[in-house]
Amino acid sequence: SAVISQKPSRDICQRGTSLTIQCQVDSQVTMMFWYRQQPGQSLTLIATANQGSEATYESGFVIDKFPISRPNLTFSTLTVSNMSPEDSSIYLCSVVPGDRGYEQYFGPGTRLTVT
Amino acid sequence: AQKVTQAQTEISVVEKEDVTLDCVYETRDTTYYLFWYKQPPSGELVFLIRRNSFDEQNEISGRYSWNFQKSTSSFNFTITASQVVDSAVYFCALSEGYGQNFVFGPGTRLSVLP
C-alpha cells in the first residue's frame, strides 16, 4: 500500500475564503481521487486527478469551486473556493497504487469547518 | 448503474458478541470488485479486504470473515468476539474495473459496548 499524507489535517475558515488542501504520496501513482464526506454521510467522489490531464469532475462538482492541480505523480492539491458553511466536511484524497490497481488507499483526511 | 446498500444504519453489541454487517450491491458488469473499509473515530479510512467477482471463496482473517454470494449480490462482513476497538463506521464499496471510481455504501456505524 501507499503512505499518504494530507495538509492541513483540520482547519476552521471564514465564509467567502478559500482553502487549499495538499495530498502527498510516498510513491508514484497514476490515479488519484478527491472525495468529500459530509458529517455523518458516506463518501462522494469530487473528481479524478490523473497526472498529465485535466481533472475529471463528477456531477454536481465544478472546477471553479474545486480547482485541482496534479503537477506530478506524487502530489495533488484541491482548493475549496468561496467557502460556505455547507462546505464543512472531511476531504479525503485517495490513490490507486500501480501494482494494486483494484484497491484505493486513503489519506487521513482534512476536516474543514466553515463559519 | 452501480449501487451499494447497507441496510443497517447503526448496530450496538456487547463486547465478545458476534456481529454481521450486511452489504448488497447492484452492477451490470460481470467483472467487478468489492471492498470493505473501516473508519474509526479518528476519521482515516482503513482498507480491510478486496474480493473479485470471479472468486466466491469466503475469507477469514483473524476475527474477521467475509461471505460473498453472487446469487444474492451480497458481501457480508462478520466480526467474531467483537471488541471495543472494533467500534467504527464500516463501508462496503464496489468498483467495476481497474482503478475505476468506487461507489460507497452509506456505511454502518458499529458500537461495541464494554
| Cα A95 from chain centre | 10
d(CA B67, CA A90): 31
Question: pLDDT > 70: what percent of chain B?
Answer: 96
For B107, other C-beta atoms within 10 Å of its C-beta total 24
Q: Across residues B12-35, what is the average pLDDT?
A: 95
CA angle, B30 then B31 then B34, to 5°: 115
Residue whose cell numbers read 492541513: A8
pLDDT for B40-87, tens place per residue? 998 899 999 999 898 888 888 899 999 999 999 999 999 999 999 999
Which stretch of DSSP H or E encloses residue B13? strand B10-14
- What's the confidence (pLDDT) of residue B55? 84
CA angle, B79 then B35 then B56, to 5°: 80
Q: Give the 3-state secondary structure of residue B84.
A: helix
For B17, other C-beta atoms within 10 Å of its C-beta total 13
d(CA B6, CA B114): 25
- What's the confidence (pLDDT) of residue B13? 97
Residues of chain A predicted below pLDDT 50: none
Pick from B83, B87, B49, B54: nearest CA to B65: B49
Cβ-defined contact of A42 to B105 (cutoff 8 Å): yes
- What's the confidence (pLDDT) of residue B101? 65
- What's the confidence (pLDDT) of residue A110? 97
Q: Which span out of A48-52, B32-36, B100-104 was modeled with the highest average pLDDT?
A: B32-36
Question: pLDDT > 90: what percent of chain B?
Answer: 76
- What's the confidence (pLDDT) of residue B59? 85
- What's the confidence (pLDDT) of residue A112? 97
Amino acid found at A82? N
Of A41, A92, A111, the CB nearest to B45: A92
- Predicted confidence band at B97 (pLDDT cuts at 50, 70, 90)? confident
Please give the residue of chain B at the shortest CA–CA distance from A46.
B101
d(CA A1, CA B44): 15
Detail the DSSP E strand segments found in B27-107: 33-39, 46-52, 59-61, 64-69, 74-79, 88-95, 103-104
- What's the confidence (pLDDT) of residue A53? 80
Distance from CA of B26 to the nearest CA of A (A): 17
Residue B68 contacts A where some CB pair is shorter than 8 Å: no
Cβ-defined contact of B52 to A102 (cutoff 8 Å): yes
- What's the confidence (pLDDT) of residue B99? 65
Please give the residue of chain B at the shortest CA–CA distance from A90.
B43
Mean pLDDT (chain B, rounded): 93
Residue A106, C-beta contacts closer than 8 angstroms, at least 6 positions apart: A4, A35, A92, A93, A94, B37, B44, B45, B47
d(CA A34, CA B43): 15
Q: Could you tell me the maximum CA-CA distance found in chain B, to the nearest angstrom?
A: 43
- What's the confidence (pLDDT) of residue A99? 66
Residue whose cell numbers read 452509506: B106
- What's the confidence (pLDDT) of residue B102? 80
For A26, other C-beta atoms within 10 Å of its C-beta total 12
